[in-house]
Chains A and B, each alone.
Chain A
Amino acid sequence: MSYHFNFGWLLVYYPELLKGTWVTIQLILIGAVFGVSLGVFCAWVRALGPAWLKPIVSVYVELIRNTPFLIQLFFIFFGLPSLGLQMGETSAANLAMIINLGAYSCEIIRAGIEATPRGQFEAGASLAMTRFETFRYVVLLPALKRIWPALSSQIVIVMLGSSVVSQIAVEDLTFAANFIQSRSFRAFEAYFVSTFIYLTLAILLRLLLKFIGGRLFQRKAAR
């Protein structure tokens, strides 16, 4: 049995694919920037923060890390409107990705912070740095450097996980693939092309993160 690939539909539907790819890129850029920022804050709370804030962050992290992303997404999009909090599908997808990555990156970054030797905190203090300055310059950057590969992987995982946002009618890359296959009935080709685009996006994202990591940590080391 042989399958005849037919990519003729690409000529008609490539704008959908480009649009979907662009939406996926926007989702991961927003999700990564705000998600990692949230993760850094939560990691600081869990490792060094005030005692009263720790249980709140712990509950948030455990709640998000132990429930499926799709359910979190449905909760925000279909559930919150009943509580009077209505948001569009793109905002819901962005929010879901931020809180999801926030929780996962919190645990990764916390591991990096807790691996910081005690002496470095004392070194910061002896240089008359405030607690914030110590955290900012002495603790966080080396911590991020330690866990950068793990964090990069988590960002790529969230990017790939963003494919489920098509369930709430966000017109991302997966939505484009589903749309094309329900119109052209070329399911294999549509998913073949979208798989290839996801793979390319993931590789580019890893390269970008590697580049950012290199800039971020090298410059500090040279100072």
Chain B
Amino acid sequence: MNRKTFCAGLVATLLMAVPVMSSSQALADTLGDIAARGTLRVAVPQDFPPFGSVGTDMAPQGYDIDMAKLIAGKLGVKAELVPVTSANRIPYLQTNKVDLVISSLGKSAEREAAIDFSTAYAPFFSGVFAPPGITASKATDLTGKTIGVTRGAIEDLQLTKIAPSSTVIKRFEDNNGTISAFLSGQVEIIATGNVVAAAILAKNPPKRPELKFLIQNSPCYVGFNKNEAALKAKIDGIIAEAKKDGSLNAISQKWLHADLPADL
């Protein structure tokens, strides 16, 4: 490589780096862009009911879709839904293909280094569920009881650690096995996620699983790019308002068949 091509290469490299640097350093104004564009582009799940799936009319539906529409409505713009997978939802945001990620996104240290989060808008937790007649407020209350769980799931691993040794843990092959076991009365207590409990509630069983105690809590947040103070304030405001006026609770009732937890 001679000196001339080296210099040209160096300049080209620097030029390519310039827009990257400017976009990350300058204070972006996504909120202004959204208003100017008239649409809010939201990354939503398409394969994760009840948060996001494709309905019989081929239109996306779910908790996250309703949330996206609610936020777009409050901003006075149209919601443009962009279906994503759980692996590419953050890259879509980072490459500015979407303004917001509303895709049952949980918080983690790695994610917080890459993007910013709103306040929580949806409950996502695993816990111990049982019909109202059964009292169990902590792991030691499970003494001598039989409890169903999906083998290898996070609830199985946690429960095995915290449950007393006299607890009989019945491990089913997949969530459908656990659901069937509960519905058919083969087990009265299950440890599972609130989404699975919602799937049971959707079938209107005679014995309704209600949360007895939490095993792990990781609620969902709206994700957006860093350095978007105005956008964050606006979204947080909309979420707080929706919590207060009951519209978020209505979405929770519609998709999760349960009220929002008080601590959300």
Bound Cα distance from A86 to B184, whole angstroms: 9
Q: With an 8 A cutoff between CB atoms, is B54 at the interface? A: no
A168 interface hit (Cβ, 8 Å) = yes
How far apart sit A77 and B180, CA to CA, in the bound complex (Å)? Answer: 9
Q: Are A89 and B186 in contact (CB under 8 A)?
A: yes
Question: Size range of the interface on B?
Answer: 10 to 19
CB of A120 within 8 A of chain B? no
Q: In whole Å, how far is B75's beta carbon from the nearest beta carbon of chain A?
A: 45
Taking the complex as formed, is A218 at the interface, i.e. its CB lies under 8 A from any CB of chain B? no
A86/B173 contact (C-beta < 8 A), A78-B181, A169-B148 known: no
Name the residue on A nearest B171 (C-beta): A169
Chain A, interface residues (CB within 8 Å), range: 10 to 19
Contact of A77 with B186 in the complex, beta carbons under 8 Å: yes
Q: Indicate if the CB atoms of A169 and B172 lie closer than 8 Å.
A: yes
Which secondary structure characterizes the binding site on chain A?
Answer: helix
Asked if A168 meets B177 with Cβ closer than 8 Å, knowing A78-B186, A81-B185, A82-B184, the reply is yes
Q: How many A-B residue pairs have CB under 8 A?
A: 42
B145 within 8 A of A: no
B169 to chain A, nearest CB (A): 9
Which residues in A have their C-beta under 8 angstroms from that of B157? Answer: 183
The B interface, classified by DSSP as helix, strand, loop or mixed, is: mixed
Task: Give B182-208 interface residues, CB cut-off 8 Å to A.
Answer: 183-186
Cross-chain contact B185 with A167 (CB below 8 angstroms):
no
* B185 near A166: Cβ-Cβ < 8 Å: no
Kindly state whether residue A198 has any CB partner on chain B within 8 Å. no
A195 to B170, CA, bound (A): 23
CB distance from A221 to the nearest CB of B (A): 48
A residues 142-198 with Cβ under 8 Å of B? Answer: 166-169, 175, 178-179, 182-183
- Of the listed residues A78, A179, A183, the one surrounded by the most CB atoms of chain B closer than 10 A to its CB is A78
**Contact across chains for A166 and B173 when beta carbons are under 8 A apart:** yes
How distant is the Cα of A34 from the Cα of B152 in the complex, in angstroms?
Answer: 35
Quick check: is B151 within 8 A (CB to CB) of the other chain?
yes
Which residue of B has the minimal Cβ distance to A82? B184
Residues on the A chain within 8 Å of B148, using CB: 169
Across the two chains, which residue of chain B brings its CB closest to A80? B184
Q: Which of A77, A82, A89, A179 contacts B151 (CB 8 A)?
A: A179
* CB-CB nearest in chain A for B151: A182
Contact among A81, A169, A175, A178 with B184 in the assembled complex (CB-CB below 8 Å): A81
Find out whether the CB atom of B171 lies under 8 angstroms from the CB atom of A78. no
Closest to A185 in B: B152
Q: How far is the CA of A124 from the CA of B185 in the complex (A)?
A: 53
Contact A89 B170 (CB under 8 A): yes
Closest Cβ of chain B to A90, distance in Å, is 11
Q: Give the residues in chain A near B186, CB-CB below 8 Å.
A: 77-78, 81, 86, 88-89, 168
Q: Inside 8 A of A166's CB, which chain B residues have their CB?
A: 173
| Contact bitstring A44-87, B, C-beta under 8 A = 1, else 0 | 00000000000000000000000000000010011101100010
A178 to B184, CA, bound (A): 24
Q: Which residue of A lies closest to B156 (CB)?
A: A182
Can you report 20 A-B residue pairs in the complex whose CB atoms are below 8 A from each other? A77-B184, A78-B186, A81-B185, A82-B184, A86-B185, A89-B170, A89-B186, A166-B173, A167-B173, A167-B177, A168-B172, A168-B177, A168-B186, A169-B172, A169-B181, A178-B173, A179-B151, A179-B171, A182-B152, A183-B152
Using a CB–CB cutoff of 8 Å, the interface residues on chain A facing chain B are: 74, 77-79, 81-82, 86, 88-89, 166-169, 175, 178-179, 182-183
